[in-house]
Amino acid sequence: MSVAEPRRSNWRSMGGETRLGRSARTRSSGPRRRSPAGYLFVGGYVVLLALVGIYPVAYAFNLALTTIGGAFTGASNFVNTYKDFRFIPAFAHVAEFMAIWLTALVVIVIGLSLVAHSLSRRVSAAFRFLFYLPAAFAGSASVMLWLFMLQPGLSPWDFVLQAFGYTSLGDSLVPGDLPIVFALIAFWTGAGAWILVIHGALMNVPDDVLEAAALDGAGPLQTALRIKLPMIKKWIVYMLIVAFAGGTQLFAEPQLISQVSRGLAAGFGSYGSWSPNQLATSMAFQTGNFNYAAAIAIDLLAIALACAGILIFRTGLFKAD
């Protein structure tokens, strides 16, 4: 039993949860001490959480429900922002971006994780580190760097740009192609981290299962599709939900591109209006309507909270007992 127990919990939970969650063992541990000392340990963090986590959300919610003068207006800020001619396009842009980005994540990240998993331990670790390195460029640095990458004449990918017949940066930033450009930048920066996660989940697929599959005559492709992927399904779902929630928040890429293209590519002004976050920012700092900005922020927050809720209540990856 002492041998079977951890293996069974491994089966049920799959992936990193056994490392992070340790649910099976935790429950058998002794009860926590009932003591007000707990408040002292948790207190500082809870105060900060209230100040910069909960209060701002409550404040934004209140703003979203009131007028500039502070009078309650119900849902009218939500309705008015929805009616703004830029609202639907902004969400449509982000949806288009996400269709490309999430597909790339599923196909390429899982593909590269399987490849890394098949290489020897040290080689695999080296490759995974190289894939992860662009994470250092998260935020604005990756966009600045990719502006160079998309500039014909300057870019090391010049031969690719020439093959498309591009002669200036404007050719690379044609408005219709922006979802692809943003997906490319987001993928370059973020794929490595997801490869670490998916590879980590693959490492937790028990060896004897793979061994049994090999003995039954399964080839590498069959093993990957029929054994490995079903066993790491939870982590793939986790990746998709987190990437989806993050994707709705797109800001740096379209904002910087709108600036470099004088607003021709991603909406006018220093903020633009290509993505919902840009639109909210424009409403706050260009139009000066903080209530409208709050309404859009609450729209986005509702999506984020729904995603977080699904992760907590549906995937069982995060245990808090």
Partner 1 sequence: MRPIHVSGKASIDVSVNLRRASPRRLLAWTVATVAAVFFLLPIVWLLLEPTKPMFDTLGGTPPLEFGSFTVLQAWWYELFSSSTVYIPAGPILDWLKNSALYAGSGVVIAVALGLPAGYGLATFEFIGRRLVLFVTLMTMLIPSNALVLPLVLEANSVHLLGSPLAVILPYGLFPFGVYIAYLYFNTPRIHGLIASARIDGASEWQAFRRVALPLATPVIGLIALLDFVASWTNYFLPFLMYWPSSITGRYPVSVGIALQLIQPPPTNGTYLGNLDLALATPAPEEALLLLLSVAPVILVLVIAQRWIGSGRLRGVFGG
Residues from 13 through 42 that contact partner 1 (CB under 8 A): 15-17, 19-22, 25-26, 28-42
Of 52, 68, 95, 107, which one interacts with partner 1 (CB under 8 A)? 52
CB of 13 to partner 1, least distance (A): 11
CB of 320 to partner 1, least distance (A): 4
Q: By CB under 8 A, what part of segment 122-181 binds partner 1? A: 123, 125-141, 143-149, 151, 153-158, 167-171, 173-175
CB of 225 to partner 1, least distance (A): 15
Please tell me the distance from the alpha carbon of residue 163 to that of residue 116, in angstroms, as a whole number: 31
Give the chain's largest Cα–Cα span: 73
Please give the structure tokens belonging to residue 321.
């007992």
Of 45, 72, 85, 165, which one interacts with partner 1 (CB under 8 A)? 45
Contact between 290 and partner 1 per CB under 8 A: yes
Segment (H or E) for 79: helix 76-83
Q: Which residues contact 231 (CB under 8 A, 6 or more apart)?
A: 14, 205, 209
**46-69 burial by CB neighbour count: b if 16+ within 10 A, else e?**
eeeeeeeeeeeeeebeebbbbeee
Interacting stretch for partner 1, rule CB under 8 A, among 48-56, 72-80, 86-94, 95-103?
Answer: 48-56
Output 76 or 204, the one with its CB closest to partner 1.
204
Please tell me the distance from the alpha carbon of residue 15 to that of residue 34, in angstroms, as a whole number: 33
Output 65 or 296, the one with its CB closest to partner 1.
296
Q: By CB under 8 A, what part of segment 179-208 binds partner 1? A: 188, 190-194, 196-197, 199-201, 203-204, 206-208
Please give the structure tokens belonging to residue 14.
């799959």
Of 92, 99, 107, 211, which one interacts with partner 1 (CB under 8 A)? 211
Coil/strand/helix, residue 298: helix
Residues 321/26, Cβ–Cβ less than 8 Å: yes
CB of 7 to partner 1, least distance (A): 8
Please tell me the distance from the alpha carbon of residue 260 to that of residue 181, in angstroms, as a whole number: 14
Distance, C-alpha 283 to centroid of its chain: 25
CB of 186 to partner 1, least distance (A): 12
CB of 311 to partner 1, least distance (A): 5
Of 9, 10, 76, 261, which one interacts with partner 1 (CB under 8 A)? 261
Q: Which residues contact 214 (CB under 8 A, 6 or more apart)?
A: 223
CB of 207 to partner 1, least distance (A): 3
Contact between 69 and partner 1 per CB under 8 A: no
Of 83, 120, 176, 216, which one interacts with partner 1 (CB under 8 A)? 120
Contact between 4 and partner 1 per CB under 8 A: yes
Residues 65/77, Cβ–Cβ less than 8 Å: yes
Residues 185/150, Cβ–Cβ less than 8 Å: no
Q: By rule CB under 8 A, what count of residues binds partner 1?
A: 149
Please tell me the distance from the alpha carbon of residue 252 to that of residue 255, in angstroms, as a whole number: 5
Contact between 224 and partner 1 per CB under 8 A: no
Q: By CB under 8 A, what part of segment 92-111 binds partner 1? A: 108, 111
CB of 119 to partner 1, least distance (A): 6
With tokens 């982590």, the residue in question is 235
Residues 318/97, Cβ–Cβ less than 8 Å: no
Backbone φ and ψ for 72, nearest 5 degrees, come out as -70, 130
Output 76 or 249, the one with its CB closest to partner 1.
249
Output 79 or 126, the one with its CB closest to partner 1.
126
